[in-house]
């Protein structure tokens, strides 16, 4: 960039081998692929303060509330209180609140790029919109899964040993799997759903509000449907509300019918897949 | 080489870009001029595949931008200096861009050095001044050492030293055989930088010409004369073989720099002159005239909104 010769009026002669003349960079040309986009998104997610905040608060909520719940139950019970119950189930409260952090982080991963205008830079660097959405989804999903697994696993271990003296049953392998891996997959999918809504709405506050509505509205609505005629709908809203689906992983569903076992995971997987397809179609057709 | 063919973009009723056909050649700086809201940024976004054209086509060396396998090492663009996440440091911003195209991380430090931001590399972008943000955007465009460069109003917010720097940068990039496409509002700025000129107004192509031709056609010099004995003076000048044209306000105009000759003739024939002044039409005036006509033409042509003042597009945005 130091040559200061006067600019040529005519285009220079064609470069050997190419129909289009021009400059050839000494920088090696690399065919970009998903791996590059993943590295880029990983740098992005770890280089902003909002990630630290949301994940920090998440860890505090899940561990803090989980341990507090365990301690409270333990100090207020004798050797029979919890007889036969799953001691891992007290992790539920922390994760319920923590889900708001995961939702926020998910939304910010996409929507904040629209808010700042960064999305245009991103899409210029990686013009394949499918690849951008995939890279963001994979990186976010991995982060959310690992954080939930580590915190919920820790809380579960502490609670299992804390509540031994209350008559709770020894958790089975299935109990453990659901309360750690299962719930972590579910939370990561919930966050991914938020990420997709962020990509559709393109506005952080709006998308977070919508997702918190999705989280809480069914329960709140159910509370107001006291009339007989709405009983069926009320029950359905209740059973398929996200908090109740979360509790299914601890086998202490708030109701007897409705989703059980691993059902919530399949429900969330299906929902996320459908929304992913929609978000992708919109991303393709809209201007950035 | 960037080739546009009938490129059109409509936002609802508003035609932002209207059948643009031109090409941007390598080895020269091509200036892209137009008043606020003319459609320059929209055209650039379509080149990058960010906005989908309503009609027409644009290709980069024969390929659509989104088909490029190595976008950043092929085309570097500064669109909007604010297209940055404010919470990220300059270094991390450029690093994530470099990684997305497999560009060695060592380039980040190099371009930061080039644009003079090394000292604030670890500072968050939201604390940057307008000019610093602009420099960060330019660093992003240079990151892949691309063969095509596109700058949307790069001098926006730069200090005089920065303007001088970017001017030389663009010239030297073009001299290396790269394609340089740069938008601006300022004709005077382009006259110093660009070799070729594309002017648009209301989304339409108004001029696609070499800078030299544009200057030759538009920067005429002439002499303005005021004289109480106009008819006598006209005769005298006519006899001397000098063509005189009637200008507004009772003044006369003579093409070229013939002020001395006219003064001597007037003295010889005892004519009183109230004014004898050499004039130079500025390129800026020529540009304003060019685009003003487009606005007028547009207003008469159809059921479009009334003629807008220059700032209208900007105010809406
Ligand atoms: N996303 C959009 N939605 C609706 N209208 C738009 C959009 N983007 C641009 N426009 C309109 O298109 C026209 C062209 O805008 P554009 O930003 O391309 O102009 P410009 O030449 O870059 O102007 P400036 O010199 O002010 O930067 C304007 O009237 C603008 O209001
Ligand atoms: Mg613009």
* Coil, strand or helix at B208: strand
* Inter-CA distances, B35 with B179, B294, B312, Å: 23, 11, 10
ipTM value of the model? 0.87
Rounded to whole angstroms, what are the CA distances from A4 to A26, B180, B211?
Answer: 19, 15, 19
Indicate if the pLDDT at residue B210 is higher than 60.
yes
Residue B276 pLDDT grade (very low, low, confident, very high; cuts 50, 70, 90): very high
* B105, B95 Cβ separation under 8 angstroms: yes
A10: left (phi over 0), alpha (psi -120 to 50) or beta: beta
Tokens of A224: 């107001």
Residues B91 and A138: beta-carbon distance below 8 Å = no
Reduced to 3 states (helix: H, G, I; strand: E, B; else coil), residue A148 is helix
> Number of A:B CB contacts under 8 A?
178
The SS3 of residue B5 is: strand
Supply B38's token pair. Answer: 């003319």
Q: Does any CB of chain B come closer than 8 Å to the CB of residue A4?
A: yes
Strand B221-226 relative to strand B252-255, pairing: antiparallel
Residue nearest to atom 18 of ligand 1 (CA): B39
Count of C-beta atoms within a 10 Å radius of residue A258: 18
- The residue that leads in pLDDT, A23 or B121, is B121
- pLDDT at position B246 over 90: no
Counting ligands in written order, the one closest to the CA of B152 is: 2
Cβ atoms within 10 Å of B296's Cβ, excluding its own: 11
Counting DSSP H helices and E strands in chain B, the numbers are: 12, 13
Q: What span, in angstroms and rounded, lies between the C-alpha atoms of B295 and B20?
A: 16
| Of A136-150, B101-115, B178-192, B255-269, minimum mean pLDDT range | B255-269
- Interchain CB contact of A284 with B (< 8 Å): no
Distance of CA B255 from the midpoint of ligand 1 (Å): 40
A287 versus B299: the higher-pLDDT residue is A287
CA distance A173 to B201: 71
In B, which residues are within 8 Å of A123 by CB distance?
Answer: 48-50
CA dist B73 and B175 (Å) reads: 18
Contact assessment for residue A125 and residue A40, using Cβ atoms and an 8 Å cutoff: yes
CA B11 – ligand 1 centroid, Å: 9
pLDDT for the residue numbered A261: 84
What ligand 1 atom has the least distance to the C-alpha of B185? 25
What is the model's pLDDT at position B209? 94
- Closest in A1, A5, A22 to B26, CB measured: A22
Tokens of B39: 């459609």
For the sheet with B252-255, list strands across it.
B245-246, B252-255, B221-226, B275-280
pLDDT at B301 > cutoff 70? no
Mean residue pLDDT of chain B comes to 88
CA atoms within 13 A on the CB side of B257: 3
Query: Nearest-CA residue of chain B relative to A135?
Result: B100
Distance of alpha carbon B183 from alpha carbon B156, whole angstroms: 11
Let me know: does A93 contact A66? Beta carbons within 8 Å.
Answer: yes
Do B175 and A5 make contact, defined as CB atoms within 8 angstroms? yes
Does residue B127 surpass a pLDDT of 70? yes
pLDDT in tens, B138-190: 999 999 999 999 999 999 889 999 999 999 999 999 999 999 999 998 888 89
> For chain A, give me the number of helices (H) and strands (E)?
11, 0
Strand B179-184 vs strand B29-33: parallel, antiparallel, or unpaired?
parallel
Q: Which residues make Cβ contacts (< 8 Å) with residue B59, sequence separation at least 6?
A: B2, B3, B5
Structure tokens of B81? 């200096």
pLDDT band at residue B221 using 50, 70 and 90 as cut-offs? confident
A35/A231 Cα distance (integer angstroms): 51
Question: pLDDT 10s per residue in chain A (288 long)?
Answer: 444 444 434 444 434 335 677 788 888 888 999 999 999 999 999 999 999 999 999 999 999 999 998 888 888 877 666 667 788 888 899 999 999 999 999 999 999 999 999 999 999 999 999 999 999 999 999 999 999 999 999 999 998 888 877 777 888 888 899 999 999 999 999 999 999 999 999 999 999 999 999 999 998 888 888 787 888 888 888 889 999 999 999 875 555 677 888 999 999 999 999 999 999 999 999 999
Ligand nearest to the CA of B43: 1
Query: What is the C-alpha separation between B35 and B293, in angstroms, rounded?
Result: 12
Q: Kindly state the tokens that stand for A287.
A: 């201007």
- Contact between A140 and A199 (Cβ < 8 Å): no
CA–CA distance, A144 with A191 (Å, rounded to integer):
7
Q: Could you tell me which residues come within 8 angstroms of residue A96 by beta carbon, excluding any fewer than 6 positions away?
A: A243, A246
Q: What is the pLDDT of residue A80?
A: 67
Mutate to test the interface with A, among B43, B102, B209 (most CBs of A within 10 A): B102
- Determine the 3-state secondary structure of B32 from DSSP: strand
């Amino acid at each position: 960039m130091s040559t200061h010769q006067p600019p040529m009026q005519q285009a220079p002669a064609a470069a050997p081998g190419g129909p289009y003349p021009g400059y050839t960079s000494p920088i090696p040309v690399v065919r970009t692929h998903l791996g590059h986009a993943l590295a880029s998104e990983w740098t992005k997610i770890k280089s902003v303060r909002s990630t630290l905040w949301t994940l920090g608060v998440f860890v505090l909520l899940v561990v803090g509330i989980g341990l507090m719940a365990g301690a409270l139950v333990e100090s207020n019970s004798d050797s029979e209180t919890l007889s036969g119950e799953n001691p891992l189930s007290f992790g539920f409260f922390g994760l319920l609140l923590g889900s708001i952090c995961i939702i926020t982080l998910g939304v910010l991963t996409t929507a904040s790029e629209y808010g700042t205008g960064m999305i245009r830079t991103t899409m210029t660097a990686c013009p394949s919109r499918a690849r951008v959405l995939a890279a963001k989804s994979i990186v976010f999903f991995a982060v959310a899964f690992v954080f939930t697994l580590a915190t919920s696993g820790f809380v579960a271990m502490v609670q299992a040993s804390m509540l031994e003296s209350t008559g709770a049953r020894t958790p089975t392998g299935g109990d453990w799997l659901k309360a750690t891996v299962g719930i972590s997959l579910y939370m990561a999918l919930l966050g991914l759903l938020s990420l997709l809504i962020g990509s559709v709405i393109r506005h952080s506050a709006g998308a977070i509000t919508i997702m918190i509505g999705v989280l809480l509205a069914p329960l709140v609505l159910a509370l107001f449907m006291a009339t007989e005629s709405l009983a069926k709908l009320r029950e359905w809203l209740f059973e398929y509300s996200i908090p109740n689906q979360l509790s299914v992983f601890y086998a202490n569903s708030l109701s007897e019918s409705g989703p059980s076992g691993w059902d919530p995971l399949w429900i969330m997987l299906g929902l996320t897949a459908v929304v992913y397809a929609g978000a992708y179609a919109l991303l393709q057709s809209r201007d950035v | 080489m960037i080739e546009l063919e009938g490129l059109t973009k409509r936002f609802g009723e508003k035609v932002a870009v209207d059948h643009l056909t031109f090409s941007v050649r390598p080895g020269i700086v091509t200036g892209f001029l137009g008043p606020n809201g003319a459609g320059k940024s929209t055209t650039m976004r379509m080149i990058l595949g960010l906005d989908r054209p309503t009609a027409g086509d644009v290709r980069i060396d024969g390929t659509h931008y989104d088909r490029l396998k190595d976008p950043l090492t092929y085309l570097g663009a500064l669109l909007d200096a604010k297209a940055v996440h404010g919470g990220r440091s300059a270094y991390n911003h450029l690093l994530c861009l470099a990684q997305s195209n497999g560009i060695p991380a060592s380039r980040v430090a190099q371009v930061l050095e080039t644009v003079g931001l090394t000292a604030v590399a670890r500072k968050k972008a939201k604390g940057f001044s307008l000019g610093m943000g602009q420099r960060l955007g330019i660093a992003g465009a240079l990151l892949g050492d691309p063969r095509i460069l596109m700058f949307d109003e790069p001098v926006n917010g730069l200090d005089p030293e920065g303007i001088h720097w970017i001017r030389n940068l663009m010239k030297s990039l073009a001299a290396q055989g790269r394609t340089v496409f740069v938008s601006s509002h300022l004709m005077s700025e382009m006259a110093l930088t660009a070799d070729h000129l594309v002017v648009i107004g209301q989304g339409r192509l108004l001029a696609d010409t070499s800078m030299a031709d544009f200057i030759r056609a538009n920067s005429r010099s002439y002499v303005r004369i005021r004289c109480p004995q106009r008819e006598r003076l006209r005769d005298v000048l006519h006899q001397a073989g000098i063509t005189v044209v009637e200008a507004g306000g009772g003044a006369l105009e003579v093409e070229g720099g013939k002020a001395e000759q006219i003064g001597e003739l007037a003295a010889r024939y005892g004519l009183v002159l109230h004014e004898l002044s050499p004039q130079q039409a500025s390129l800026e005036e020529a540009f304003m005239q060019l685009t003003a006509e487009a606005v007028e033409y547009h207003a008469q042509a159809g059921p479009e909104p009334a003629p807008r003042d220059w700032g209208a597009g900007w105010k809406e945005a």
